[in-house]
């Protein structure tokens, strides 16, 4: 029943059962008007962790109890000194849809307790003070149980609703998920307050325990390296081989489209209904929108992506391919889906191949049957029977050995696939460690199909997880531009963010034109090794974040020493350290000066736009704000290093104020170096 309810009668002997639906920030209040009554409660299968408390009518919490989700929560409260209210509330994360509870209550005590019965008020906001008390009690317990929770609570929540709507509603999706082959009893699907669909722990999960299993066979997948067409009837091998669409993500998109074309007949139909209707990628943005990112190569990258898509689309429409009813919109949707939610998986061919497994099994079976017959047939001579029996025993060991030989000689295959359920975890970019890892303990975010017969994708907890907590996986240590380009989202405050110093080579050349670095710049191999040493494979642009900067300086300094020493034969160690830091600081400031707007202006634009801001503009602004903060930080770090060196070198009188970390002032070109 829903709504206000009350009951009367002999409550000391009757159980009152009610199912209540609660709204966010609301509680269920059940009360007795009498003193000295005992209220037994029995709450079965709450969907979320709840707090129960009793309160005096005048306010103030008297007793409280935390009930974990899926725990059957039983106990009793006594209304010792006055009237008693039983309050049910979810506190830590008040879910949007609080769900339904079955609450069984039994009121006993004196006859007085029956008078007035149980008053039930549903859907009324809880007394603020009481709720705060409950929250404080609940949080204190949870914080004490897991200090990591503090970090999680402090994470900023993105204001913008980041997820595109799914084809199915969250409720439908949860039902669909339950009907699929995903095992994950402690995990539930949810839309979080920031509008993002993701997975939430419904109860405490211990570090290392498995929280989700998914059979590999139920995924939509293909071998990423295979030259053969996965759909030879629709796309002949020679067409498949001839085009670059054999590459990710186009190859897997074609397989997804084929699965979609089966409609309700597809074995993956439930999963397909859960996929987002649209994923917005930068290649779909207008030039003006791309400009808002203030990243040089974005337009080029977007144009390149669009051209590749168009080329594949062109071949798909040719007479050699028979994929009817395919539209451009469906095609690029599939590519975007693969790009934003597929997994790469290494597997072992050989035994992993079901046909090979069948062959090994059949051969062992036939041999075993022959030997068994030989064992049992009395017509054979005694010694032969003994030998046959021994062989039979060793067959068991033999099959194990064959297995191992095949396993070791198997070639690894790289699959790309969609893993239903597993693809509902969102990306953690605010903490270095994700909450979960896949299959291989100790290597969060990476996994290999170690055992060929291991047919389940396993998701295990990388830390203790608390009820109500969103569970994040890692998509890799990706900077925001890469997240935006490959997945259509970014994370403000992303700890992996990197800024590509454009034309760093040119800046070096400029710096060296008159002085130091001429031979160094001339030797492009030097530059390449420099780029490699900071983990950025491209020449001409170097990625910087605070860590890279130190590594970059480390790499730059000996080269300056080398060059200068060659020129003058002097020991230039000290000068080179300062020079390399100056060069880096200058590069960061130069980059900031090239931007069309300042950080302050961007932040003002963002806050002026408010909640109604267009999604693309929000993404572009967040990207460029993040970049500018990074550049300022790097410039400040370079300044600090120079000050430190000066102090070290005894060039006292250094005024720290002089080198303000955020000073936009530009060093003159060719200055001092």
Contacts to ligand SAM by CB under 6 A:
162-163, 196-198, 276, 279, 340-341, 423-424, 426-427, 429, 487-489, 491
Of the pair 235, 484, the CB lying nearest ligand SAM is at 484
Q: Could you give phi then psi for residue 567, rounded to 5 degrees?
A: -70, -45
* 198: number of Cβ within 10 Å: 18
**Minimum CB distance to ligand SAM, residue 196 (Å):** 5
Of the pair 160, 183, the CB lying nearest ligand SAM is at 160
Give the relative orientation of helices 546-568 and 524-533 as an angle to the nearest 10 degrees. Answer: 150
- Closest CA relative to residue 223, chosen from 251, 200, 196: 251
DSSP state of 168: S
Is 215 strand, coil or helix?
strand
**Minimum CB distance to ligand SAM, residue 621 (Å):** 15
**Minimum CB distance to ligand SAM, residue 197 (Å):** 3
**Minimum CB distance to ligand SAM, residue 551 (Å):** 27
d(CA 133, CA 53): 10
| Cβ–Cβ < 8 Å for 462, 209 | no
**Minimum CB distance to ligand SAM, residue 527 (Å):** 35
Torsion of CA 303, 307, 308, 314, to 10 degrees: 160
**Minimum CB distance to ligand SAM, residue 163 (Å):** 5
**Minimum CB distance to ligand SAM, residue 277 (Å):** 11
d(CA 311, CA 314): 5
b/e burial code for range 343-382 (CB count within 10 A of at least 16 → b): bebebbbbbbbeeebeebeeebeeebeebeebbeeeeeee
Non-local (6+) Cβ contacts of 341 within 8 A are 275, 418, 423, 487
Would you give the distance in Å from CA 336 to the centre of its chain?
Answer: 17
**Minimum CB distance to ligand SAM, residue 271 (Å):** 11
Of the pair 367, 617, the CB lying nearest ligand SAM is at 617
For residue 459, give both structure tokens. 């998701």
Of the pair 36, 493, the CB lying nearest ligand SAM is at 493
**Antiparallel, parallel or unpaired: β 426-427 and 472-473:** parallel
**Minimum CB distance to ligand SAM, residue 202 (Å):** 17
DSSP characters over 305-369:
HHHHHHHHHHHHTSTT---TT--HHHHHHHHHHHHHH-EEEEEE-GGGSHHHHHHHHHHHHHHHH
Residue 436: strand pairing partners: 461
Of the pair 30, 481, the CB lying nearest ligand SAM is at 481
d(CA 253, CA 298): 24
* 478: number of Cβ within 10 Å: 21
d(CA 19, CA 104): 9
**Minimum CB distance to ligand SAM, residue 426 (Å):** 3
**Minimum CB distance to ligand SAM, residue 161 (Å):** 9
Distances (CA, A) of 462 to 85, 200, 201, 346: 40, 15, 13, 21
Of the pair 423, 564, the CB lying nearest ligand SAM is at 423
**Minimum CB distance to ligand SAM, residue 427 (Å):** 4
| Cβ–Cβ < 8 Å for 235, 229 | yes
d(CA 268, CA 256): 10
Of the pair 82, 195, the CB lying nearest ligand SAM is at 195
Of the pair 246, 341, the CB lying nearest ligand SAM is at 341
Of the pair 65, 615, the CB lying nearest ligand SAM is at 615
Of the pair 162, 501, the CB lying nearest ligand SAM is at 162
For residue 86, give both structure tokens. 């039983």
Of the pair 198, 479, the CB lying nearest ligand SAM is at 198
Of the pair 340, 580, the CB lying nearest ligand SAM is at 340
Residue whose CB is nearest to ligand SAM in the complex, by number? 197
Q: What is the chain's Cα-based Rg?
A: 33
DSSP state of 439: S
Of the pair 498, 527, the CB lying nearest ligand SAM is at 498
CA atoms within 13 A on the CB side of 203: 14
**Minimum CB distance to ligand SAM, residue 597 (Å):** 24
């Amino acid at each position: 029943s829903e709504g206000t309810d009350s009951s009367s009668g002999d409550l000391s002997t009757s159980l009152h059962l009610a199912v209540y639906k609660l709204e966010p920030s609301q509680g269920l209040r059940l009360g007795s008007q009498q003193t000295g009554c005992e209220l037994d409660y029995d709450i079965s299968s709450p969907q979320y962790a709840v707090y129960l408390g009793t309160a005096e009518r005048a306010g103030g919490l008297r007793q409280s109890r935390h009930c974990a989700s899926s725990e059957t929560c039983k106990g009793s409260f006594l209304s010792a000194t006055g009237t008693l209210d039983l309050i049910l509330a979810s506190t830590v994360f008040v879910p949007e849809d609080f769900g339904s509870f079955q609450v069984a209550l039994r009121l006993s005590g004196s006859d007085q307790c029956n008078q007035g019965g149980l008053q039930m008020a549903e859907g009324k906001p809880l007394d603020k003070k009481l709720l705060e008390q409950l929250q404080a009690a609940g949080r204190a317990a949870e914080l004490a149980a897991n200090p990591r929770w503090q970090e999680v609570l402090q994470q900023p929540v993105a204001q913008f609703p980041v997820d595109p709507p799914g084809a199915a509603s969250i409720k439908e999706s949860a039902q669909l998920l339950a009907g699929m082959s995903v095992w994950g009893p402690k995990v539930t699907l949810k839309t979080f307050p920031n509008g993002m669909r993701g997975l939430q722990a419904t109860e405490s999960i211990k570090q290392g325990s498995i929280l989700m299993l998914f059979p590999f066979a139920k995924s939509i997948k293909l071998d990423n390296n295979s030259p053969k067409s996965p759909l030879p009837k629709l796309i002949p091998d020679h067409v498949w081989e001839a085009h670059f669409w054999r590459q990710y993500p186009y190859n897997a998109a074609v397989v997804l489209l084929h699965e979609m074309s089966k409609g309700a007949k597809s074995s993956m139909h439930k999963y397909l209904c859960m996929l987002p209707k649209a994923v917005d990628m930068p290649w779909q943005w207008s030039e003006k929108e791309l400009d808002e990112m203030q990243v040089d190569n974005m337009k080029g990258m977007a144009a390149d992506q669009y051209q590749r898509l168009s080329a594949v689309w062109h071949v798909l429409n040719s007479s050699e391919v028979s994929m009817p009813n395919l539209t451009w919109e469906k095609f690029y949707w599939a590519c975007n889906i693969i790009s934003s939610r597929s997994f790469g998986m290494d597997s072992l061919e050989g035994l992993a191949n079901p046909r090979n497994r069948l062959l090994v099994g059949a051969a062992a079976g036939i041999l075993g049957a022959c030997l068994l017959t030989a064992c049992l047939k009395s017509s054979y001579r005694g010694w032969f029977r003994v030998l046959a029996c021994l062989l039979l025993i060793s067959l068991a060991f033999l099959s194990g050995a064959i297995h191992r030989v095949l396993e070791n000689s198997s070639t690894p295959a790289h699959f790309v696939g969609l893993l239903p359920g597993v693809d509902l975890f969102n990306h953690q970019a605010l903490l270095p460690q994700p909450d979960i890892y896949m299959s291989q303990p100790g290597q969060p975010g990476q996994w290999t199909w170690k055992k060929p017969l291991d047919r389940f994708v396993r998701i295990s907890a990388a830390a203790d997880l608390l009820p109500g907590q969103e569970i994040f996986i890692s998509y890799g240590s990706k900077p925001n531009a890469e997240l935006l380009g490959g997945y259509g989202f970014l994370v403000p405050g992303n700890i992996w963010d990197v800024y590509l110093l454009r034309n760093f080579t040119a800046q070096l050349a400029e710096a060296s034109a008159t002085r130091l670095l001429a031979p160094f710049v001339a030797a492009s191999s030097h530059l390449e090794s420099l780029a490699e040493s900071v983990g950025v494979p491209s020449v001409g642009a170097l990625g910087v974040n605070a860590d890279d900067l130190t590594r970059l300086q480390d790499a730059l300094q000996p080269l300056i020493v080398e060059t200068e020493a060659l020129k003058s034969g002097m020991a230039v160690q000290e000068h080179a350290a300062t020079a390399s830091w100056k060069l880096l600081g200058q590069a960061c400031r130069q980059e900031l000066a090239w931007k069309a707007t300042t950080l302050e202006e961007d932040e003002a634009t963002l806050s002026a736009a408010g909640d109604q801001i267009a999604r693309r503009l929000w993404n572009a602004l967040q990207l460029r704000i993040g970049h500018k903060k990074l550049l300022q930080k790097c410039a400040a770090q370079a300044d600090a290093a120079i000050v430190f060196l000066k102090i070290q070198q005894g060039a006292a009188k250094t005024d720290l104020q002089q080198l303000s970390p955020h000073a936009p002032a530009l060093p003159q070109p060719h200055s001092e170096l």
